[in-house]
Amino acid sequence: MGIWKKLLILISSTFILSGCSILNNKNVAGLQVITNDTASSLFLDGQYLDKTPYINKTIQPGEYTLKIQPDDQKLVPYETQISLQKNTLTVVTWKPGSRSENSGGIIYEMEEIKSNQGELSFITIPDNSIIKFDQREQQFSPLIIKNIEPGHHQFEISLPSYEKQHHTINIIKGYRINITAKLAKSNPPEEKDSNQDSVVLIKDDLESTQSASASGQLVIIKSTGFFQNNIEVLKVRKEASTSAAIIGHALVGNSYPYLNENPTGWFKISFDNQAGWVSDQYAKLANE
């Protein structure tokens, strides 16, 4: 299969890429922009391109400024720098919102590397987003994953209070895929559903956390000497046991609501909208 055919099936997600084709001229680059069902105008270095969805495989390689201008004036435009490498396709997926905070998407760019394997690079806005790749333990952005077997893999990008990104990607040997993800803020629960019963359920679910916060009971994470992607963290477990499943990593120096349970050696905290346990060897109550 030709390299362009491989590149055109690079991303498998909630959208469908355009049909496959092969370029004879290896000195050009490609650009594809998808805005789901939101019609938008595209500008490259200030020059109008076309409406979305858009694909062009005959662009001169180089660094460009891409602007996405939604037709709906209630939605905000988006402007970003992109790198178009020769013989590769850069894919931009964007979901415009009414404000910059609730707009988001992903840019996929490729560069050739000297390897029989593939690589992934993650840069996120905000930084320190949680990255889950295949079945590996979660890490934090910015992140580079090397020596990936060619083929289909899954990744997830998440952060509390932001919409989760979950995608399947095809890794090609000899290429690094650079992923730049801008996460969109989630709407507050009250904006999603005004139904009174739902509000009551949300209140019940958060009752212990709200009570802890109101009483000033917070758990501070102390230095652990354990680093994930150069960030010092503490493992948060599902149960109060070192053999229990890890549900995430608390950042050293951060505070988390205390859920008023402290069996020997553990604190129960509210973490990522769920209950978790941290070792009291590396944590303490804020008022201690």
pLDDT in the model for residue 230: 63
**CA 247 – CA 235 distance, rounded (Å):** 8
Residues 6+ apart with CB under 8 A from 36: 15, 93, 95
pTM for the model stands at: 0.60
pLDDT in the model for residue 24: 45
pLDDT in the model for residue 206: 38
pLDDT in the model for residue 12: 36
pLDDT in the model for residue 20: 27
pLDDT in the model for residue 228: 67
**Can you give the pLDDT of all 288 residues of the chain as single tens digits?**
444 434 443 433 333 332 222 334 568 888 999 998 899 999 999 999 999 999 998 999 999 999 999 999 999 999 999 988 888 889 999 999 999 889 999 999 988 888 899 999 999 998 889 999 998 888 998 999 999 999 899 999 998 889 998 888 888 888 899 999 999 988 754 444 434 333 333 333 334 444 444 345 888 888 888 876 667 888 989 999 888 888 888 888 888 888 888 878 899 988 888 889 999 999 998 776
Cis peptide before 53 (omega within 30 of 0): yes
Neighbouring CB atoms inside 10 A of 43's CB total 17
* Domains of the chain in sequence order: 3-182 (no CATH), 190-285 (2.30.30.40)
Which residue carries 């707009």 as its tokens?
103
pLDDT in the model for residue 15: 34
Cβ neighbourhood burial of 94 (10 Å; 0-12, 13-18, 19+)? buried
pLDDT in the model for residue 22: 31
pLDDT in the model for residue 288: 61
Q: How far is CA 46 from CA 66, 96, 220, 270, in A?
A: 8, 19, 49, 47
